Amino acid sequence: PLASAKNFQELSFQCITTLKKHINHRKQLSWMITVNAALFPSSITNSLIALGNDGLQERDRMVRACIAIICELALQNPEVVALRGGLSTILKNVIDCQLSRINEALITTILHLLNHPKTRQYVRADVELEQILAPYTDFHYRHNPDTAEGQVKEDREARFVASKMAIVAAFRSWSGIINLCKPGNSGIQSLLGLLCIPNMEVRKGLLEVLYDIFRLPIPVVTQDFTEALLSVDPSRFQDSWRLSDGFVAAEAKLLLPHRARSRPDLMDNYLALVLSAFIRSGLLEGLVEVITSSDDHVSVRATILLGELLHMANTILPHSHSHHLHCLPTLMNMAASFDISQEKRMRASAAVNCLKRFHEKKKRGPKPYSLYLDHIVKKSMAAHYKRDQYQRVQKDIFVLKDTEEALMMHLRDSNILVHKQNLDWNWDLIGTILKWPNVNLRNNKDEQMHRFVRRLLYFFKPSSKLYANLELDHSKSKQLTVVGCQFVEFLLESDEDGQVYLEDFVKDIVQWLSSYSGVKPDRSLQNNGLLNTLCQHYFLFLGTLSSHPHGVKMLEKCSVFQCLLNLCSLKNQDHLLKLTVSTLDYSRDGLARVILSKILTASTDSCRLYATKHLRVLLRANVEFFSNWGIELLVTQLHDKNKSISSEALDILDEACEDKVKATIYIDHRHNLRLIHISYIKCLFHPYDAIHLQYESGHIVLMQKWDIHHFCGTHYVNQDIIFEHRKHYCWYDLLYTSKIPALRSGEVVC
């Protein structure tokens, strides 16, 4: 039974008098709100609001507890809070708080009230929510009138941070977008109008707000456009790509495009709406003004933001909204006009050139950072290319003349025959020689060429400890490894003349690998430097061999596959197994797939999880014949006892089922249909798969048992195995359009 009003009042006063002594009494006030918020006494509300307004200046530790109670009461009884100015208190504390979780919780309380017609009336239009813009829109803004002059700058920066958090949170909710972007003198117009005012501090802060709203990385503060552009390049190195962390699987998931190109992206839909609203309010014109009239570091950031937004607009906005291109003629006219100051004209001209470079970079797309991912992608592309025609890929920085004299000249100029200072050799010329057309040990019996090969072989052998002991971050590390892979291919093409050298090289690598068997893992990794030296790139050389038929024979002859299989049985060799999984070629049926299968089923949880993630890399890289063997491996992973592994396999299968061939192969695994998988359910709603399924009566029995066709689709299967259109809305729309980035709480609030 509900407490009587009198008892409720007495309990309230008891709580408020002891609140500052015992913080746990906050639970009593929360209980009172839960029991009946309508009976919550106004006197207590007034006290809480007073503490919320002035507590921070008094350094009262109970401020946050009081604000939490006010927010809770506002959700249950908004009238009593609004009439006593509690909503303004909440918004005042939004600007006071630089902790993102608390800041978002406070602003979400106001957004929740705006989201419902019954509670929307308590939030004053054009007044309440716009308070979060005040630190930017009011150049003389002081949150507390008694702030000392020496602390004004520091206080203003803190308000910028809090305001930015609140603005971004507001634009990640429908109620916030609608209220800040409504026609007339809206909050978004006030915000964008600041771009035309030459205040560098506000412009810099506002640009950071815009970067966050559109989910874009913020460039470093610099006057160099190239440096700033590199700082936001998706292909730049990230700590999660290290061997000790996510490695190639993490890099590929970020850089390689998702296979589900036919499905809409809900995040794109959200960004398209916000971008359209900002463009209509003059965002692009404001950025042009910032570019041409700001300091260099602000101008550079604005240029990159303009390029990102133009690219985003061309990608996700419909053609009917192509008016965003009007800012480009404006910028071009300013670059060519003599009616404006020379400084503005030069800035506009520089911006046009920078946007051209930005467009070219976007057109090329992200490139793999690591040699491992680059190896996988290039081998896959080369395999598909060879289906139609054979052409040796050749990109040299030198103009090659296919003559014996030119070859000998390059051999001399490379310095490899002159001295043994390996790092001082001309590695550009060495790479050119290794890719020289029709040149190998079989066609060239000259002793100088054999000396050239022996010098390279000695440098790359693990036992020499020359290449192997170089640090991963050495300035020539990538170049040396690329030349090493070219050296392996050169020996492969030399047939019998190169087999002796190649066998010697591979056996030396096997001996180095075998050394891990008898040493404790921690000690071996530390002493041999697997994590931070180029010795880990020996796996790339083995991967290069595994992609050639003659190379596979050499690996078998030197017992490389057996050595790798033995490593699969050892404990705490996660890094070695990661390297093994990431470098072998699986396009041919053979021992490489056996090793992958063993790691997927018999290794530690962390190795099994990484190997499962690597199947996504192979899927997105479009490795040959993946549908013939990759889908089967993924289906096997669905039965893994570790939920993280089975969930990862399910997610990859969901992506793979966009391909009809892969989806059909998945369906053919009848024995797995006892598991209710989203990806399998999706297959049932493709017309092509419906025809395939009409002969699979066991599938239909399971469908009826699950009752799928009653709730899972815009189309459902009737008794005659005919797809009929469902007239009412169903949650399958959300199921099928699930290709969205992981959303954090409050980012897209419906």
- DSSP string for 378-431: HHHHHHHHHHH--------SS----SHHHHHHHHHHT-TTT---GGGS-HHHHH
Q: Which two tokens stand for residue 528?
A: 């041999």
Rounded to 5 degrees, φ, ψ at 595 are: -65, -45
Q: Residue 139: pLDDT above 60?
A: yes
Please indicate, yes or no, if residue 88 is contained in any of the structural domains: yes
Q: How far apart are CA 738 and CA 657, in angstroms?
A: 13
Comparing 272 with 183, the larger pLDDT belongs to 272
Shared domain check, 103 and 43: yes
Rounded distance between C-alpha atoms, residue 559 and residue 254, angstroms: 35
Residue after which a domain boundary falls, among 501, 527, 554? 554
- pLDDT above 70 covers what percent of the chain? 76
Residue 747 lies in a domain: no
The continuous run of DSSP H or E covering 715 comes out as strand 715-717
Nearest to 234 by CA among 351, 364, 382: 364
Residue range 383-393: average pLDDT?
A: 50
Q: In a 10 Å sphere around its CB, with 0-12 CB exposed, 13-18 middle and 19+ buried, how is residue 251 labelled? A: buried
Q: Is 587 a member of any domain?
A: no
Q: pLDDT category, 24, cuts 50, 70, 90?
A: low
Residue, of 443 and 425, whose pLDDT is higher: 425
Instruction: Return the minimum-mean-pLDDT range out of 83-97, 178-192, 322-336, 641-655.
Output: 322-336
Instruction: Report the Cα–Cα distance between both ends of the chain, in Å, rounded.
Output: 35
Q: What is the dihedral of CA 590, 591, 594, 595, to 10 degrees?
A: -140
Q: Are residues 176 and 254 in the same domain?
A: no
- Cβ atoms within 10 A of the Cβ of 622, count? 15
Task: Please state the rounded mean pLDDT for residues 96-114.
Answer: 91
Q: Are 363 and 320 in contact (CB under 8 A)?
A: no
| Candidate from 436-440, 491-495, 726-730 with smallest mean pLDDT | 726-730
**Which domain-ending residue is among 120, 150, 180?**
180
Classify burial at 693, counting beta carbons within 10 Å of its beta carbon; exposed 0-12, middle 13-18, buried 19 or more: buried
Q: Cα separation of 646 and 633, whole Å?
A: 11
Contacts of 200 (CB under 8 A, 6+ apart): 294, 295, 298
- Quote the CA–CA distance of 669 and 630 in Å, as a whole number: 13
The confidence band for 108, taking pLDDT boundaries of 50, 70 and 90, is very high
**What does the pLDDT average to over 32-57?**
81
Query: Could you read off the pLDDT of 407-420 as tens digits, one per residue?
Result: 788 888 888 888 88
Higher pLDDT, 673 or 168: 168
Residue 23, helix vs strand vs coil: helix
Mean pLDDT in residue range 632-659: 88
* pLDDT for the residue numbered 60: 62
Residues 52 and 157 placed together within one structural domain of the fold: yes
pTM above 0.95, yes or no: no
Residues 215 and 362 placed together within one structural domain of the fold: yes
Rg (CA), the chain: 32
Report yes or no on 614 lying in a domain.
no
Determine, yes or no, domain membership for 663: no
Largest pairwise CA distance in the chain: 108
Please, how many CA atoms are within 13 Å of residue 664, restricted to the half-sphere of its CB? 11
φ and ψ at 726, to 5 degrees?
Answer: -85, 130
Q: What is the pLDDT of residue 52?
A: 84
pLDDT at 338 over 70: yes
Same domain, 150 and 199: no
Of 33-37, 274-278, 341-345, 572-576, give the range with the top mean pLDDT.
274-278
Mean pLDDT of 616-620: 94
Question: In a 10 Å sphere around its CB, with 0-12 CB exposed, 13-18 middle and 19+ buried, how is residue 359 labelled?
Answer: middle
* Residue 240 neighbours by CB under 8 Å, 6+ apart: 246, 250
Sign of the four-CA dihedral 736, 737, 738, 743 = negative
Same-domain pairing of 153 and 203: no
Kindly give, in sequence order, each residue whose CB lies less than 8 Å from that of residue 493, ignoring residues fewer than 6 positions away: 440, 442
Domain boundary among 526, 554, 582: 554
> What are the angstrom distances between the C-alpha of 634 and each of 336, 642, 661?
58, 14, 15
What are the CA-CA distances from residue 358 to residues 288, 296, 308, 453 (Å)? 16, 17, 8, 42
Question: Could you tell me if residue 2 is inside a domain?
Answer: yes
Of 237-251, 530-544, 648-662, give the lowest mean pLDDT range: 648-662
State both tokens at 505: 């090289």
**528 and 421 together in one domain:** yes
With a cut of 50, say whether residue 400 has pLDDT above it.
Answer: no
Q: Which one has a higher pLDDT value, 626 or 396?
A: 626
Looking at residues 388-403, what average pLDDT do you find?
Answer: 46
Per this entry, what is the length of the chain?
750
Residue 295 has pLDDT above 80, yes or no: yes
Task: Answer yes or no: is pLDDT of 292 > 60.
Answer: yes
Is residue 119 one of the residues assigned to a domain?
A: yes
Q: What is the pLDDT of residue 438?
A: 67
The string of pLDDT tens digits covering residues 309-324 is: 999 998 888 887 766 6
Q: Does some domain include residue 271?
A: yes
Tell me the per-residue pLDDT of 690-711, one tens digit each, with 9 for 90 and over.
Answer: 444 444 444 444 444 444 333 3
Residues 39 and 160 in one domain: yes
Q: What is the mean pLDDT of the chain?
A: 79
| Residue 172 shares a structural domain with residue 198 | no
Enclosing domain of residue 150: 1-180
99 and 83 Cβ atoms separated by less than 8 Å: no
Q: Which residue has the tokens 């909503």?
A: 87
Closest CA to 228 of 287, 156, 330, 305: 305
Based on the domain organization, do 214 and 303 belong to the same domain? yes
Q: What is the pLDDT of residue 13?
A: 52
151 and 190: one domain?
no
Quick check: 611 and 645 in contact, CB under 8 A? no
> pLDDT for 678-690, tens place per residue?
444 444 444 444 4
- Among 502, 503, 513, 492, smallest CA distance to 558 is for 503
Query: CA-based angle 673:677:682, to the nearest 5?
Result: 100
**Spatial distance between the Cα atoms of 579 and 537, rounded to a whole number of angstroms:** 9
pLDDT of amino acid 161: 93
Q: Which DSSP symbol is given to 124?
A: P
**Which runs of consecutive H residues, i.e. helices, occur in 559-604?**
560-568, 574-583, 591-602
Domain count, the chain: 3
* CB contact at 8 A, 417 and 411: yes
- Residues 623 and 587: beta-carbon distance below 8 Å: yes
Place of tokens 């970067």: 211
Assess whether 433 and 503 both reside in one domain. Answer: yes
Position 728 pLDDT exceeds 60: no
Q: Work out the pLDDT band at 662, boundaries 50, 70, 90.
A: low
Model confidence at 551: pLDDT above 90: yes
Sequence-distant (6+) residues with CB within 8 A of 140 are: none
Query: How is residue 461 annotated by DSSP?
Result: -
